[in-house]
């Protein structure tokens, strides 16, 4: 049974070769996946054009069901984006080096899920063409957005988070882009030459790099927490029963990390299988994420209980009624599925046998995310159906237009991700080397010195490969 | 603002909403609705449709809850009191509650609009700027009364096919798809009255004009007026019922008084007073 996070005898050249290989020659499966994603996106585009032309009513949004799957899915994708920050920033700061082989794709996931999430508030607007009004652009009429509204906070929070996480993804990739540049031909070489910003891997560059990387990590952590707290403010700042909940910010952040971690497991298994990354995305690392997910799942379940208890023992009759109605009303099947997927399913992660079985984990991780998606819907939907005014108690189920757009958003995310894995290295080469180097030194110091000498010896006729010399100065 | 000031007068700042952010209101339009008089005839609702260019959405859309009735008559049935199902005898059990925008002084819809399309006017009205609305529908979600309606489609052609468009009230616009709208207390009438009064260099006289609903009610259940004017009919009703603005809970000397405001406990400070229906059992 494999117990080590990574093979400590792995050669630098093999790491490069393995990762670079994953970016070349897409096989037929890849093209099928791309085609599927494009088909999904076109479903959404057709639906959106129809909705744009006819009016938002075709989504079967109605009074009082003014928000629907759009906002629920928006919160879902925002939540998904928290995993990358968790892996790359939080775990970086606490020196958990097992994150190194898997943080790159998690970070890409962050950026892409934000790019997906950002579409939803736009799609759901009644007058999409005026969406820029929520931004404080310079207007000669001196009109500003309403700074008291959580929706305009959203606009700021998401654009900031998207910019920073895209930058963070890019900065962390520079040494790897240099490796790609040195090994690529044609358009790729031109692209990587521009993107690697003249990286040579000398000491000074590494020192600067470490500093900015750490700085960005420190900047991103509070940002990630605040982004989802602000998204939760969309609900908790309101007056409606079931939304006006003080525990929403931590609840949302926990839910975000939860769904993010579950998505990491899914993508981990996919990448490991299709790119044959068995050497990097190893079972012990998967186990570590599973444990992390389990812990977060328990926090999430606990916060759920807190919410129920607070409602139950509080004196808000309507909130109480809403809670009971969630338990046994028309939303009950979804509600119980959510609780099952969110709180019972994660116990599968507690068993070593199951954790090490990839197909099981794949299914479990998808179910966890199904639960998390339902959670968001169970926040948005029931409150709109049952609130203070009894005359306005009604349920409207989402129409095909809504479903098509939600469905398409997964295709959009998949498409971005598929392009990413073929253009950029989805495993961080230089950080894997670093990890191997440190572990080697810890376990077999003499062998490490020998290997290190061999790797750093300049070979005749070839300049030293950048990134092959894992310098830890300034780290 | 010194710290002492902030600590000492904190409650003053918290209660700022009573002034709606204004130092001085010009008017404070309010309503009083006597439910004893309301017979549920829907005349007010129809008048509202005619006055305010409300789109007639048709049966299908009405059934899927996409209607645009700014003033709706809510029907509630009491618990059966005389045995049997009181639904068969509406005169026994049904109560009617005409609900229009409550023009809350601490309106929950106002702070949540991302583009400030809804705001408080110096008239104490909760105004909706159609041109500014981008249709995020947050205000409607945050309205505890659910009194905001959204243009889910463009109704212009279907609702007023020629020559019906000639019947549209020229004093206000017809809203297009993607915009939120709600009862305005017939703001176009308020404006006309204020303009006339200014031209004639006088104050607006109580009873000089009325909202469409108050005007058309056959039983005179609805009273409209300026609550800053102590002699107006509506002020007198509020006073008689011992209901005051700016309070989340009313302390009435006489418990038999019928006046109440809907969901007052949420501290939205609505400006519509209802006089409870009294029924003999
Ligand atoms: S017009 Fe008067 S009586 Fe008729 S429903 Fe309206 S308030 Fe009641």
> Does the beta carbon of B98 sit less than 6 angstroms from any atom of ligand 1?
yes
What is the per-residue pLDDT for A89? 83
- The closest CB to that of B178, out of A55, A60, A234, belongs to A55
Give the DSSP letter of residue A466.
T
What is residue B2's predicted lDDT score, i.e. its pLDDT?
63
Interface confidence (ipTM) of the complex: 0.85
Work out the percent of chain A whose per-residue pLDDT is above 70: 94
Cβ(A304)–Cβ(A24) under 8 Å? no
Spell out a b/e string for A192-216, using b for 16 or more CB atoms within 10 Å of the CB, else e: bbebbeebebeeebbeebeeebeeb
Whether residue A364 contacts residue A348, with contact meaning beta carbons closer than 8 Å, is answered with yes
Read off the pLDDT of each residue in A307-321 and give the average, rounded to a whole number: 89
For a ligand 1 pocket test, name from B32, B37, B43 the mutation site with the most ligand atoms within 8 angstroms of its C-beta.
Answer: B43
Q: Who's near A27: CB < 8 A, 6+ residues apart? A: none
Q: B188 pLDDT exceeds 90?
A: yes
Q: Does A196 touch chain B (CB under 8 A)?
A: no
- Give the pLDDT confidence of A79-107 residue by residue, as tens digits: 988 887 877 788 888 888 888 888 888 88
Selected for mutation to probe chain A from B137, B248, B269 (highest A CB count within 10 Å) is B137
pLDDT band at residue A70, thresholds of 50, 70 and 90? very high
- Asked if the C-beta of A135 comes within 8 angstroms of chain B's C-beta atoms, the answer is no
- Amino acid B114: pLDDT: 92
Judged by DSSP in three states, B250 sits in coil
**B-contacting residues of A 292-351, CB under 8 Å?**
none
CA of B222, closest atom in ligand 1 = 7
Residue B135, ligand 1, Cβ within 6 A: no
Task: Tell me which chain A residues have a C-beta less than 8 angstroms from the C-beta of B137.
Answer: 61, 66-67, 124, 126
pLDDT band for position A285 (cuts 50, 70, 90): confident
Ranges A65-74, A81-90, A203-212, B135-144: which has the least confidence? A81-90
Query: Mutating which of B134, B153, B175 best tests the A interface, going by the most A Cβ atoms within 10 A?
Result: B134
Q: How many beta-carbon pairs below 8 A join chains A and B?
A: 143
Closest of A388, A421, A170, A413 to residue A273, by C-alpha: A421
Return the minimum-mean-pLDDT range out of A392-401, B171-180, B245-254: B245-254
**Cβ neighbours around A145 below 10 Å, total:** 21
Q: Which of residues 107-126 of A touch B (CB under 8 A)?
A: 121, 124-126
| Alpha carbon of B183 to ligand 1 centroid (Å) | 16
- The whole-number pLDDT of residue A449 equals 73
For the residues A72-83, what does the mean pLDDT come to?
Answer: 90
CA–CA separation, B281 vs A42, rounded Å? 63
User: Quick check: A273 pLDDT over 60?
Assistant: yes
Is there a contact between A238 and B64 if contact means CB atoms under 8 Å apart? no
Shortest Cα distance from A114 to chain B (angstroms)? 19
Cβ–ligand 1 distance for B219 under 6 Å, the answer yes
* Chain B residues whose beta carbon lies within 8 Å of the beta carbon of residue A388: 144-145, 263, 266
Q: Which of B34, B46, B98, B273 to mutate to test the pocket of ligand 1 (most atoms within 8 A of CB)?
A: B98
* Atom nearest to B220 CA in ligand 1: 2
Ligand 1 binding pocket mutation candidate from B49, B73, B90, B272 (most atoms within 8 A of CB): B73
pTM, whole model, 2 decimals? Answer: 0.89
Reference B116, options A230, A68, A136; nearest CA is: A136
Please tell me which of the candidates A65, A131, A394 has its beta carbon nearest to residue B134.
Answer: A131
Length of chain A: 475
Distance from CA of B183 to the nearest CA of A (A): 15
Q: Does A254 touch chain B (CB under 8 A)?
A: no
Question: What is the pLDDT, as a whole number, of residue A372?
Answer: 92
Set of chain B residues whose Cβ sits within 8 Å of the Cβ of A66: 137, 140-141, 150
The least confident of A172-176, A225-229, B251-255, B259-263 is: B251-255
Nearest CA to ligand 1 atom 3: B38
Residue B167, exposed/middle/buried by CB under 10 A (0-12, 13-18, 19+)? Answer: exposed
User: How many other C-beta atoms lie within 10 A of the C-beta of residue A120?
Assistant: 22
Q: What is the pLDDT of residue B72?
A: 93
Asked if pLDDT for residue A248 goes beyond 50, the answer is yes
- Cβ–ligand 1 distance for B46 under 6 Å, the answer no
pLDDT of residue A84: 79
Among A191, A170, A168, which Cα is nearest to A181's? A191
Sorted by sequence, the CB contacts under 8 Å of residue A52 that are 6+ apart come out as A128
Distance from CA of B153 to the nearest CA of A (A): 5
User: For position A463, what pLDDT does the model report?
Assistant: 47
Q: Whose CA is nearest to atom 2 of ligand 1?
A: B217
Q: What whole-number distance in Å separates Cα of residue A453 and Cα of residue B275?
A: 91
Measured between alpha carbons, how far is A367 from A363 in angstroms, rounded to an integer? 6
Nearest to A63 among B65, B116, B136 (CB): B65
Confidence tier at A114 by pLDDT (50, 70, 90):
very high
Which chain B residues are within 8 Å of A238, Cβ to Cβ?
A: 108, 112, 138, 141-142
- Cα A392 to averaged position of ligand 1 atoms, centre (Å): 20
Chain B closest-CA separation from residue A148 CA (Å):
6
How far, in Å, CA of A113 to CA of A203, rounded? 35
**Whether B150 and A391 lie within 8 Å, measured CB to CB:** no
Angle between helices A429-443 and A150-183 (to 10 degrees): 80
- Which pair of structure tokens corresponds to residue A290? 């599973």
User: Which residues in chain B are contacts of A396 at CB distance < 8 A?
Assistant: 64-65
Across the range A14-20, mean pLDDT stands at: 83
Give CA–CA dist B45/B70, Å, rounded.
8
pLDDT band at B10 (very low <50, low <70, confident <90, very high): low
Of B74, B111, B114, the CB nearest to A145: B114
pLDDT > 50? residue A462 = no
Question: Which residues in chain B have Cβ-Cβ distances shorter than 8 Å to A55?
Answer: 151-154, 177-178
Cβ contact, residue pair B152, A149, below 8 Å:
no
- pLDDT of res. A301: 94
**Lowest-confidence range among A157-166, A421-430, B247-256?**
B247-256
Maximum CA extent, chain A: 84
Give the best-scoring range by mean pLDDT among A295-304, A309-318, B81-90: A295-304
Least CA distance to A55: which residue of chain B? B153
Nearest chain B residue to A136 by CA distance is: B115
Q: Which of residues 31-70 of A touch B (CB under 8 A)?
A: 54-57, 60-67
Q: How many CB atoms lie within 10 A of CB B99?
A: 24
CA of A384 to the centre of ligand 1 (A): 28
């Amino acid at each position: 049974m494999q117990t080590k996070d990574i093979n400590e005898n792995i050669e630098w050249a093999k790491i490069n070769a393995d990762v670079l290989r994953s970016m070349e020659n897409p096989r037929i499966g890849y093209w099928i996946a791309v085609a599927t994603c494009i088909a999904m996106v076109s479903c959404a585009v057709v639906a959106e054009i129809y909705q744009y032309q006819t009016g938002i009513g075709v989504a079967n949004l109605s009074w009082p069901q003014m928000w629907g799957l759009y906002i629920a899915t928006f919160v879902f994708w925002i939540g998904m984006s928290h995993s990358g920050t968790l892996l790359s920033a939080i775990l970086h700061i606490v020196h958990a080096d097992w994150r190194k082989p898997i943080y790159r794709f998690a970070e890409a996931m962050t950026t892409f899920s934000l790019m997906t999430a950002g579409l939803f508030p736009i799609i759901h607007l009644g007058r999409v063409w005026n969406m820029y009004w929520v931004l404080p652009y310079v207007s000669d009429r001196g009109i500003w957005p309403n700074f008291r509204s959580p929706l305009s906070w959203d606009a700021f929070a998401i654009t900031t988070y998207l910019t920073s996480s895209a930058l963070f993804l890019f900065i962390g990739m520079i040494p790897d882009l240099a490796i790609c540049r040195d090994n690529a031909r044609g358009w790729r070489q031109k692209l990587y030459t521009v993107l690697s910003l003249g990286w040579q891997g000398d000491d000074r560059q590494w020192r600067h790099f470490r500093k900015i990387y750490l700085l960005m990590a420190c900047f991103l952590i509070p940002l990630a927490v605040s982004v989802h707290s602000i998204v939760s403010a969309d609900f908790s700042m309101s007056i409606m029963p079931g939304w006006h909940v003080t525990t929403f910010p931590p609840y949302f952040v926990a839910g975000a990390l939860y769904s993010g971690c579950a998505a990491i497991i899914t993508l981990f298994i996919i990448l490991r299988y299709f790119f044959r990354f068995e050497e990097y995305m190893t079972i012990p690392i998967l186990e570590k994420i599973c444990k992390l997910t389990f812990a977060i799942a328990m926090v999430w379940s606990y916060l759920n209980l807190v919410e129920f208890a607070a409602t139950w023992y509080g004196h808000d009759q309507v909130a109480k009624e809403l809670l009971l109605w969630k338990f046994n009303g028309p939303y009950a099947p979804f509600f119980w599925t959510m609780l099952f997927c969110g709180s019972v399913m994660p116990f599968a992660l507690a068993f070593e046998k199951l954790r090490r079985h990839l197909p099981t984990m794949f299914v479990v991780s998808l179910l966890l995310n199904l639960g998390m998606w339902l959670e968001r819907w169970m926040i948005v939907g029931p409150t709109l159906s049952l609130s203070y005014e009894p005359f306005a108690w009604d349920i409207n189920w989402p129409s095909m237009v809504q479903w098509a757009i939600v469905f398409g958003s997964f295709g959009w995310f998949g498409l971005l991700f598929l392009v990413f894995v073929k253009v950029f290295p989805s495993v961080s080469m230089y950080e894997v080397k670093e990890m191997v180097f440190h572990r080697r030194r810890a376990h077999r110091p003499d062998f490490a010195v020998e290997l290190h000498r061999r790797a750093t010896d300049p070979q005749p006729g070839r300049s030293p490969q950048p990134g092959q010399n894992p310098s830890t100065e300034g780290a | 603002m010194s710290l002492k000031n902030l600590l000492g007068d904190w409650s003053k700042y918290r209660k700022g909403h009573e002034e709606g952010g204004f130092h001085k209101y010009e008017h404070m339009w309010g309503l009083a609705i006597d439910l004893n008089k309301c017979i549920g005839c829907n005349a007010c609702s129809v008048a509202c449709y005619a006055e305010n260019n409300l789109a007639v959405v048709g049966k299908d859309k009405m059934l899927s809850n996409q209607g645009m009735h700014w003033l709706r008559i809510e029907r509630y049935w009491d618990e059966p009191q005389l045995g049997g199902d009181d639904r068969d005898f509406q005169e026994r059990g049904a109560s009617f509650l005409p609900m229009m925008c409550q023009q809350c002084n601490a309106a929950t819809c106002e702070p949540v609009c991302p583009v400030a399309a809804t705001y408080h006017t110096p008239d104490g009205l909760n105004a909706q700027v159609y041109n500014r609305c981008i249709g995020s529908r947050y205000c409607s979600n945050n309205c505890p009364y659910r009194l905001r309606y959204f243009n889910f489609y463009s109704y212009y052609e279907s609702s007023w096919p020629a020559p019906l468009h000639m019947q549209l009230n020229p004093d206000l616009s017809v809203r297009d798809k993607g915009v939120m709208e709600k009862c305005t207390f017939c703001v176009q009438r308020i404006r006309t009255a204020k303009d006339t009064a200014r031209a004639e260099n006088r104050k607006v006289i109580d009873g000089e004009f009325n909202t469409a609903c108050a005007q058309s009610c056959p039983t005179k259940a609805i009273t409209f007026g300026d609550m800053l004017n102590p002699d107006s009919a509506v002020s007198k009703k509020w006073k008689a019922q011992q209901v005051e603005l700016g309070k989340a809970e009313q302390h009435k000397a006489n418990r038999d008084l019928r006046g109440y405001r809907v969901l007052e406990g949420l501290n939205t400070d609505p400006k519509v007073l209802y006089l409870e229906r009294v029924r003999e059992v």
